[in-house]
Amino acid sequence: METDAKIYVAGHRGMVGGALVRRLRRAGFTNLVVRTSTELDLRNQAAVADFFAEEQPDYVLLAAAKVGGIQANSTYRADFLYDNLMIQSNVLQQSHRHGVRKLLFLGSSCIYPKLAPQPIREEYLLTGPLEPTNEPYAIAKIAGLKLCEAYRAQHGSNFITVMPTNLYGPGDNYDLENSHVLPALLRKFSEAAAQRLPQVTVWGTGTPRREFLHVDDLADACLHLLRHYDGALPVNAGTGRDITIQELADLVAELTGYTGEVVFDFARPDGTPRKLLDVSRLHGLGWRHRIGLRAGLEQVLTSADWLQATQAVATATT
């Protein structure tokens, strides 16, 4: 990849897209193309066609998506399915039509069956029922992965697919209703520590196990794959290590200085019992994560991004 190649990063304002932009710039790439959702609605077929005709990117990184946690996925099921299907279909079709040299599609570990054997290998896709709470989002991502495969098989398009595990880091969403479990816990415990609350309630039983990857590690993995991988098979991106939600809550409480009681609400859904990715394919391609969970969370809690997010929350609640 020449450093002056034109690279379109779809979704650059999101957590993943922002990390991709930072990593590419750090690697010396100077010709990045970005658009906000106001400037370019990726659900609009004609608008996407016009954009590709005008910009003619060499590479496309498709990180744009409608994302959220259990609550958001359960509430906005139609939006999660429709928006993501339209975004993916439009970008992939125009990338094919305009002959991009390579496209990287970012999926999600939620595409795998709810009760898949652990750790989850890429070939377990479509071998069992999905987790019901995020089924619409998962179906959309599966469709995107299969569309990449279809363009490759029919047209020879160099579209590669990456399936990240649970992510955290700069640009995360800390909304208690619509965020994922880790940013929600960071906000809950941080506020509880500041207000000296005697108790914090965490959804579910605390027994599900989750794997977490710092978003800057994911961006580094994506750049590595852009440079070194041209295969048809999807690639899992993760750490190969997981932790229970209870252990995660205890770690977040420690790092935020919360000393009160942690209570689990068994009436709330747990989601998938365990979701640990088999990352042997990525390791075989020469990449491993660098940022451990404790170190990554310490970075988050001292970052300008976190301070800005918590100040915004504090202002909204006063």
What are the boundaries of each domain within the chain?
A: 7-169+212-241+272-292
How confident is the model at residue 315, as a pLDDT? 56
How confident is the model at residue 97, as a pLDDT? 98
Assigned CATH class of 7-169+212-241+272-292: alpha beta
Extract the residue ranges of the chain whose pLDDT is less than 50: none
Residue 13 in marked binding region: yes
Separation CA 277–CA 107 (nearest Å)? 13
Residue 89 in marked binding region: no
Residue 107 in marked binding region: yes
Query: What type of residue is 38?
Result: T
168 membership: H or E segment, kind and range: strand 166-168
How confident is the model at residue 313, as a pLDDT? 54
Q: Is 59 a catalytic residue?
A: no
How confident is the model at residue 33, as a pLDDT? 98
How confident is the model at residue 78, as a pLDDT? 96
Question: Which of 8, 59, 112, 137 does the annotation list as catalytic?
Answer: 137
How confident is the model at residue 314, as a pLDDT? 58
pLDDT tens per residue, range 46-86: 999 999 999 999 999 999 999 877 777 888 899 999 999 99
Residue 26 in marked binding region: no
Nearest to 213 by CA among 272, 90, 295: 295
- Residue/partner pairs of 290-298 with CB below 8 Å, 24 or more apart: 290/217, 290/220, 291/214, 291/216, 291/217, 293/212, 293/239, 293/241, 293/243, 293/251, 294/251, 294/255, 296/168, 296/169, 296/212, 296/214, 297/168, 297/186, 297/251, 297/252, 297/255, 298/255
How confident is the model at residue 252, as a pLDDT? 97
How confident is the model at residue 179, as a pLDDT? 73
Residue 15 in marked binding region: yes
Nearest to 72 by CA among 186, 169, 164, 179: 179
pLDDT tens per residue, range 77-109: 999 999 999 999 999 999 999 999 999 999 999
Nearest to 20 by CA among 64, 79, 68: 64
- Pairing type for strands 166-168 and 235-237 reads unpaired
How confident is the model at residue 265, as a pLDDT? 95
Residue 73 in marked binding region: no
